[in-house]
Amino acid sequence: MTYRVCIVCMGNICRSPIAEAVLRAFVREAKLDGEIEVRSAGTGGWHVGDGADPRALAALSRHGYDASEHEARQFAPAWFEANDLVLAVDRSTFATLEQIAPPEDAGKLRLLREFDPAAGDDLDVPDPYYGRSRGFDDVVAMAERACRGLIEQMLRKRGA
């Protein structure tokens, strides 16, 4: 049975595609292909059909990841049923998703940085869209820590 994860931000062109690319790479590295399926989406439809932001693609490339095939999509309430875990990149996205989550699927919703051991109380991935390219590299680093923590947790549960 395939475990499905969807990472969600606002427009699905910066933070969630970065985290999706990182998590996919970690899934391959852990030899969990076919067991874990990763996708991403945005809460809004502004960028549906667009590729990832060029600055996100450049940051991913600098760190050895690829999201060149990414195409933005909008998260739909029915996707809760289709996914086992829905990861919001920040509290605002979490609140938006919480409002549309069916009661029986609300437990599937988590914050991405809950899995980042360095996050402390700061569980938001800042939106780099209006900032400098350095912000995209920071998002990659946060995604790496959170996705590594998620994979480690999944492997522990699998081994138990």
Measured CA to CA, the distance from residue 15 to residue 140 in angstroms comes to 8
- In the predicted model, is pLDDT for residue 160 greater than 70? no
Q: What is the pLDDT of residues 80-125, one digit of tens each?
A: 999 999 999 999 999 999 999 999 999 999 999 999 999 999 999 9
Tell me how long the chain is: 160
pLDDT of residue 1: 83
pLDDT digits (tens, 9 = 90+) for 5-19: 999 999 999 999 999
Nearest 5 degrees, angle CA 92-CA 16-CA 53?
Answer: 110
Cβ burial of 50 (10 Å; 0-12, 13-18, 19+) is middle
Look at residue 23 in the predicted model and tell me its pLDDT: 98
- Please state the rounded mean pLDDT for residues 66-83: 97
Residues serving a catalytic function are 9, 15, 127
- Sorted by where each starts, the structural domains of the chain and their CATH numbers stand as 3-159 (3.40.50.2300)
Query: pLDDT confidence of 35, banded at 50, 70, 90?
Result: very high
Instruction: With cut-offs at 50, 70 and 90, classify the pLDDT of residue 131.
Output: confident
- Maximum distance among all Cα pairs of the chain, rounded to whole angstroms: 44
The percent of residues above 70 in pLDDT, for the chain, comes to 99
Residue-wise pLDDT tens digits, 142-152: 999 999 999 99
How distant is the alpha carbon of residue 124 from its chain centre? 12
